[in-house]
Amino acid sequence: MKEFISKLLNGMSIGVVVALIPNALLGEILKLLIPHFPPLQHLLDITVFTMSLLPVLIGVMVGISFKLTPIQTASVGIASMVGSGVIIKTAEGVMTLNGIGIVLNIGITAALTVLFVQFLGDKLKAYAILLMPTLSILIPGMAGYLLLPYMQQSTGFLGQIVDQITTLQPVLMGAIIAMIFCIIILLPISTVGVATVIMLSGIGAGAANLGIVAAGVGLAITSYKANSLGTALAHVLGSPKIQMKNFLMKPKIAIPMLITAAVLGALAGVLNIQGTPYSAGFGLSGLVGPLNYMNLAEGGWNARNVTVMLSTFLVLPILLNIGLIYVFSRKLKMIKPEDYKLNFD
């Protein structure tokens, strides 16, 4: 069971990064360039569309993690799409892709489909190419689709908890929300989904964003010795969610980031760092968080706001994480670089 879950989470982590990185790297830059060169709008639309392919990419990467055959792997991909919640049918009957889906349900559907295709094995013989994709949609795919409303309710329930916390004093609220989002970004749960279900905004959104910044920067620093530079940077430029498997296997590896998140979240309350429901789930990815803060800050791009932005989104996350990682690795011996090793082979 442990090996099964490990392979599942590894495939999910890779799928998340592959789907989200193009928009994370290009999204905000393209938005700045489009007014001067409108044809770039098509490129931006493609990166957004790629994000909506997250369920298929997760399914395919999970299939590869389990070393399934090409037909089995493709079947996991399409079944994951069925159970994702990404496909929306409009009132006019047009099928559209909306968002990235419910990540937890995508993982559950992918797991069910892997078990299903492994059970079938080579029983279908020459008819595998005809029946396996269809049966994967009809059985595990539809099972995931039936689970979807319950998974959506769980996201809504988590959002309601966050909504209650927003009624607290700003500094305390900021610290708690930052820690919550620091943890959520390492789970198969969409931070954007939690933020948008309650339309989290203001200091709450700013704190949530800083919680994700704390996770991304800290994991990039501490995983550098165990991974390549590109993989380390993916925690910041892409998503800290690539450490999902390691975190669920060893939750203690996130303690330094969690403490950093609490400090940064409290500062959000002190310095009035704000955000939007959209920016709350992104951290430094695509520079969505810092740019939204600058757009919302009173006075805009003045010296004070730029200093606050650089301090809270870059300097302090680096310094706090370095100090805490040193304490927990060298002094307390609670974590080590190998805990953050990622296997993308």
Mean pLDDT value across residues 13-32:
83
The predicted-structure confidence for 55-110, as pLDDT tens digits, reads as follows 999 999 999 999 999 999 999 999 999 999 888 887 777 888 888 888 889 999 99
pLDDT band at 174 (very low <50, low <70, confident <90, very high): very high
Q: Is the pLDDT of residue 278 over 80?
A: no
Q: Which amino acid is at 48?
A: V
Model confidence pLDDT, tens digit, residues 176-186: 999 999 999 99
Burial state string for 146-156 with b = 16 or more CB within 10 A and e = fewer than 16:
ebbeebbeebe
* Whether the Cβ atoms of residue 273 and residue 206 lie closer than 8 Å to each other: yes
Q: Distance between CA 11 and CA 178 in Å, rounded?
A: 27
DSSP string, 222-291: HHTTTS-HHHHHHHHHT-GGGGHHHHHH-GGGGHHHHHHHHHHHHHHHHHT--B-TTGGGTTTGGGHHHH
If you search the block for the tokens 């029983």, which residue do you land on?
123
What pLDDT score does 20 carry?
A: 82
283 Ramachandran zone, left/alpha/beta (phi>0; psi -120 to 50)? left
